[in-house]
Amino acid sequence: MHEMSLAEGVLQLVEETARREGAARVKTVVLEIGQLSSVEPEALKFCFEAVAHGTMADGAALAILDVPGAGWCMACSATVPLQEVFGTCPQCGGYQVQATGGTEMRVKEIEIE
């Protein structure tokens, strides 16, 4: 389950930041998940709660922002919305679309106290 290792990565980053800021507890973690990142938000939430148990981030709320997928179409020479990594161009129907946006997951911000 790759969400588990992602959740561990998120927790590590969050704990490092919280410690650096001298926080006692992590209240909220805001995550950006790209539509093309193949990360399942619900599964990630579940895994995060599991790995955060007993840490500074125990009970922290996980806010997830969807980042729409985008790609560069060679034929159109334009950036187009993309629903899947190897999707077709919605303008010309071509397959030469390179995913350029919404392919990653990242921690946008954390709220501590």
Binding residues (CB under 5 A) for Zn ion: these are 73, 75-76, 89, 91-92, 94
Shortest Cβ 81–Zn ion spacing (Å): 11
If one counts every other C-beta atom within 10 angstroms of the C-beta of residue 16, the result is 10
CA distances from 102 to 40, 82, 98 (A): 13, 9, 12
Shortest Cβ 102–Zn ion spacing (Å): 17
Of 91 and 98, the one with the shorter C-beta distance to Zn ion is 91
Of 56 and 92, the one with the shorter C-beta distance to Zn ion is 92
Q: Percentages helix, strand, coil for the chain, rounded to the nearest 5?
A: 25, 35, 40
Of 14 and 73, the one with the shorter C-beta distance to Zn ion is 73
Shortest Cβ 77–Zn ion spacing (Å): 8
If one counts every other C-beta atom within 10 angstroms of the C-beta of residue 68, the result is 12
